[in-house]
Amino acid sequence: MEKYEKIRVVGRGAYGTVYLCVRLGDQKQVIIKQIPVEQMTKEERQVALNEAKVLAMLDHPNIIEYYENFLEDKALMIVMEYAEGGTVFEYLQQRGKALLEEQEVMHLFVQIILSLQHVHSKQILHRDLKTQNILLNKDRDVVKIGDFGISKVLSSKSKAFTVVGTPCYISPELCEGKPYNQKSDIWAVGCVLYELLSLKRAFEGANLPALVMKIMRGAVAPISDQYSEDLKKLLLNMLHLDPDKRPTVNQVIAEPIVIKALVKVYMEMGRVKCSTKLPRPSLRKTSDGKGGSRGNSSRASHRGSMASVVLDGSTGLAKVQPLSSIYCWGHGVTSPVRLPLPHSDTQITQVSTGRTQKAGVTKNGRLIIWESPSVGNDAMLPGATEQQIPTFVPRYLEGQSAVTIRHVSCGDMFTACLTDRGILMTFGSGAHGCLGHGNYHDVSQAKIVEALLGYEVDQVSCGQAHVMAVTNEHEVFAWGRGDNGRLGLNSQDPYASPQSVQVPDRHKIRSVFCGLDCSLLLTSKHKLLCCGSNRCNKLGLDLTSQSDATIEQIEHSWSLRQARSWPLPQLSIKSVAIGTSHSAIVTENGRCLTLGSDQFGQLGCQTANKLPRIACLPAVPQNSLIVDIACGDMFTVALTADGNMYSWGKGSRGRLGRPEENTGTPQRVTIPSDNPFNVISVSCSHGNTLIATKPLEESVESP
């Protein structure tokens, strides 16, 4: 809200508060609807978001313009055009008994019908047209249709069934519970036209049953004789009881009396100043978005996670021990490098890395991004002989201090993050439509994936060029590149907005994992469903047995299939990770299996003993139990229950966190730390690794 200044409250409704504000950049007055979506059910969120979604689809001088939306104080803020002249209802009330001239009636009516034509051309029903929702400009000569909160977008020429709208304007078919389409909007506009002509509502009753009876009879009081017969005939046609006999919006416009007024409006509308639409970033930078310790969220972090104090063995003096340490390696860095944190008491709970970005979620719900200003450093190029450690600078994600982030996933130059209320936000490169906003535009600040605001997203995973998300009701959505069938949509088509994935019967998805060109989904019964490229059988889709080699091969799957390579169907799987041509699986009992190509030793097995395309067991020292695993492009990193970390596979460019080259068996990664620790989160992407650790010892809170 730093770019807006509130002036006053201009309305309150079931879903929030409406403010008149000034946009500080150009001193333009705007309307901001504040909707507390964080506390709503998914159905309420869908209704609240609907107006922004519909307005974003519409672009017409007689429809209220939508500017942007963003999160502020755990509420969705929708910014739209301000109509200074108030509503048509208020205008008619102020006239008392002085009827409008027919010329003025037609001037307003033509603009209403033009806006409705634009709405219907987008296969949208307004469903709540009334004089209170029809606004005027300052001079009260330009109409602006607003309040699309309960509008419905029709996927075809089908009819809608839900009974919504203001009782005085609902059509007879709604009263009878019959399905309806655009003809119900025509009825409502007929009611508005009657109000313009008589300054009274067409249908009123002492109670709802009496009102319904009047609507069902369709009888209205005669209008004044000062109006032409053509206008009276048009009104009666729009208020015909039979929707099939009501005119369409195009038939209304074709009426001679309308065409005459239409020509005049077209001539005059050229003088209406229509501003260029502004960009629509979803979230705006807030006062503490640059990473300082200001704001409620940061104050909460000081109360909830104090740095621990330990004794220095050499001096016997107390020293502050950070609650988290972050390390990275790869891309030319051959041993773990510790990344800085904004504060010593910052506690990281989860990390994720992509090709270029590194991100972490704090315990109090902030998202930290580490950026390297040393882009183009020669030490980062292939063939460099002397390692130069890059400088990474941490910053808080701008514009999200008012929401609580609980999970982050990084793709190839884009990032997705989830709030504690299941709202998904994305930012970064819009290539391949991976941001899910219905276009291919880049977004610098986190923006809500509006198509999923009606759902509570439970988990999200980003591949290099596609994304999958699963909701708390086990619904799965996918978007981005579709080649190889990686989206599981039974096609190779790309999508720039979330698409529902058909999950085979009897399966409930609880988590998703995206790779380079494929996806793995874990069910509530700990089984694997897969789609995409099965290169080298990394998805386990080949039919294999314990004793024989591959019986039947599947190169790719465009829809979800259950993994069937032995022994996957018999396992209870806890988590999975996917590399370029291999994958790793951790079972509920801490057992680890790897599948796919072993060209660089990324399976961690004795190659001589491994049958082609068959799962194998990595040779983890002392048969340690695996608690977490991650796959890079040609290497693997595993965490064990005893607190150790092992890596294996291709070792060039520092992939394994040590100077050695290719290592076909797991070797321990040494982390430079003065105190014992546990690795709590690991992420690999391409040729780099990012981990988060916490102190192993019980700590004493600092005063």
CATH number reported for the structural domain that contains residue 173 in this entry: 1.10.510.10
39 plus 186 within the same structural domain: no
27 plus 92 within the same structural domain: no
Instruction: Tell me phi and psi for residue 328, to 5 degrees.
Output: -140, 160
64 plus 97 within the same structural domain: no
118 plus 253 within the same structural domain: yes
Find where tokens 């039974």 sit: 490
Task: Tell me whether residue 151 is in a domain.
Answer: yes
Task: Tell me whether residue 370 is in a domain.
Answer: no
The helix (H) or strand (E) run that includes residue 350 is strand 348-353
51 plus 182 within the same structural domain: no
DSSP 3-state of 652: helix
Cα 197 to Cα 69, 108, 188, 214, 441: the distances in Å are: 38, 11, 14, 19, 47
How many structural domains is the chain composed of? 2
Q: In this predicted structure, what is the pLDDT of residue 566? A: 87
Give tens-digit pLDDT for 50-84.
666 777 788 888 888 888 888 777 788 888 899 98
Report the C-alpha gap between 145 and 133 in whole angstroms. 6
What's the CATH code of the domain at 50? 3.30.200.20
Which of 43, 60, 81 lies at the terminal end of a domain, its last residue? 81
DSSP 3-state of 126: coil
Q: What angle do CA 565, 488, 600 make, to 5 degrees?
A: 50
41 plus 22 within the same structural domain: yes
Task: Tell me whether residue 153 is in a domain.
Answer: yes
46 plus 152 within the same structural domain: no
Q: In this predicted structure, what is the pLDDT of residue 527? A: 95
Instruction: Tell me phi and psi for residue 541, to 5 degrees.
Output: -90, -15
Report the C-alpha gap between 400 and 420 in whole angstroms. 12
Task: Tell me whether residue 657 is in a domain.
Answer: no
Report the C-alpha gap between 289 and 354 in whole angstroms. 22
Which of 269, 297, 315 lies at the terminal end of a domain, its last residue? 269
Residue of 660, 592, 661 lying closest to 631 (CA atoms): 592
Q: Which residues are catalytic?
A: 128
Task: Tell me whether residue 639 is in a domain.
Answer: no
Q: In this predicted structure, what is the pLDDT of residue 269? A: 62
Report the C-alpha gap between 586 and 591 in whole angstroms. 6
Give tens-digit pLDDT for 622-672.
668 888 999 999 999 999 888 889 999 999 989 999 887 778 889 999 988
121 plus 237 within the same structural domain: yes
Residue stretches of the chain with pLDDT short of 50:
150-165, 272-307, 309-318, 374-386, 608-609, 698-703
Task: Tell me whether residue 15 is in a domain.
Answer: yes
Q: In this predicted structure, what is the pLDDT of residue 392? A: 83
Query: What is this structure's pTM?
Result: 0.63
Task: Tell me whether residue 139 is in a domain.
Answer: yes
Judged on CB neighbours under 10 Å (0-12, 13-18, 19+), 189 is buried
155 plus 17 within the same structural domain: no
- Copy the structure tokens of residue 621: 């020292």
Q: In this predicted structure, what is the pLDDT of residue 156? A: 37
Largest CA distance in the chain: 103
71 plus 100 within the same structural domain: no
Which of 269, 304, 335 lies at the terminal end of a domain, its last residue? 269
Task: Tell me whether residue 45 is in a domain.
Answer: yes
Cα 329 to Cα 339, 640, 663, 668: the distances in Å are: 10, 19, 16, 14
10 plus 112 within the same structural domain: no
99 plus 218 within the same structural domain: yes
Residue 181 structural domain: 88-269
